[in-house]
Amino acid sequence: MNTQLSTIMYPICALLILMIIGCEEEFNPPITASAEQYVVEGYVEAGEGANPTYVLITRSVPFFDELNADEFASLFVNNADVAVDDGDKVVQLSKFCLGDIPDGPIKDELAEQFGLDLTTVSDDVDICVYVDFNNQIIQEEGRSYDLTIRIEDDLLTATTTIPKLVALDSFMFEEIPGVPVDSLAQLFCRIADPSDANYYRYFTDDDAGNLNTAFSSITDDVQFNGQDFRFPIAQADNDDVSFEDYGFFNVGDTVTLKWCTIDKEHYDFWNTFEYSLNGQGSPFTSYTRIAGNVDGGFGIWGGYSVQLEELIVAK
């Protein structure tokens, strides 16, 4: 019996020693340069308060590269031909650049949206977006929209849909969990979810008044399919948030809530993107491939069916 035990234990001990030695050795993975890709972010919306259709195009950079303001701004593609087919007609989007706007509060606000300090960006660098300024595109539920981008010899295409809006039907501000705080409230919403599969994303305005997303901005209806469901909505992220008041609203504020119904491809993009983003820095998370829908490049061309609400925070 002792001989048999020794025969089993020696290989196990040897394996444990090798594992311990392996854990102590520093591992430096090789850094390989990947081919540059075009990255697309574009949206078409329907509903009250919907934004004009727009598309941003940038170039990818290696993960470990560091960027200054000029290098970041130079990633924006300013020589593209961008068109959207709404099923009735093809509309060319107009190029609109930050350099076209005179210095002043509007330009400063747009720069803040991009996260740019204009004092550090040279005058030779410009940031452009492609927009349907005249609202020629028919923005309505149930339509499909084909995006075509030509950049010199490169062709990028994508298709999205605007699904039927599943609206929120009531809103309630209540005491926050734990010890009550007179200045803070928690927002609850109610939805009558249809029996088919649905996908949602939402935004709230932050302290600066910009619509932004919370730590997690999307959900499917797997847990409440076909039900009358009540759930909390978290306040958008902002720089001054603390752990104690994260996700709560200040009593007396007027809050804008943008609730959107999206299709599955659009949901899959944000689901994988947020999972990857929220796992950064953790040694226990696995690599996540972000599920874009742009052929010939990377990114998202997404449709939003929009419900816009202004709510006064009062308990």
Please report, in tens digits, the pLDDT of each residue of the chain (315 residues total).
444 434 434 443 443 333 444 454 554 555 445 678 999 999 999 998 899 999 999 998 765 556 555 566 678 899 999 999 999 999 999 998 877 777 777 667 666 655 555 555 556 567 788 999 899 999 999 999 999 999 999 999 999 999 999 999 999 999 998 888 899 999 999 999 999 999 999 999 876 677 888 878 999 999 999 999 999 999 886 555 565 677 899 999 999 999 999 999 999 999 999 887 765 544 445 556 789 999 999 999 999 999 999 999 997
Q: What are the angstrom distances between the C-alpha of 212 and each of 133, 182, 203? A: 22, 25, 5
Burial of 248 (0-12, 13-18, 19+ CB in 10 A): buried
Nearest to 41 by CA among 147, 151, 117: 147
**Cα 170 to chain centroid, rounded:** 25
pLDDT (0 to 100) of residue 100: 77
pLDDT (0 to 100) of residue 313: 94
Separation of alpha carbons 198 and 264, rounded Å? 8
Separation of alpha carbons 3 and 114, rounded Å? 70
Kind and range of the H or E element at 8? helix 2-24
Domains of the chain: which residue ranges? 38-161, 168-312
Q: Are 34 and 62 in contact (CB under 8 A)?
A: yes
Burial of 216 (0-12, 13-18, 19+ CB in 10 A): middle
Any alpha helices (H) in 94-145, and if so which ranges? 105-114
pLDDT (0 to 100) of residue 72: 65
Which tokens belong to 173?
A: 């501000």
DSSP 173: E
Nearest to 53 by CA among 143, 138, 178: 138
* Amino acid of residue 100: D
Separation of alpha carbons 45 and 23, rounded Å? 51
pLDDT (0 to 100) of residue 12: 39
pLDDT (0 to 100) of residue 211: 86
pLDDT (0 to 100) of residue 143: 97
3-class secondary structure, 204: strand
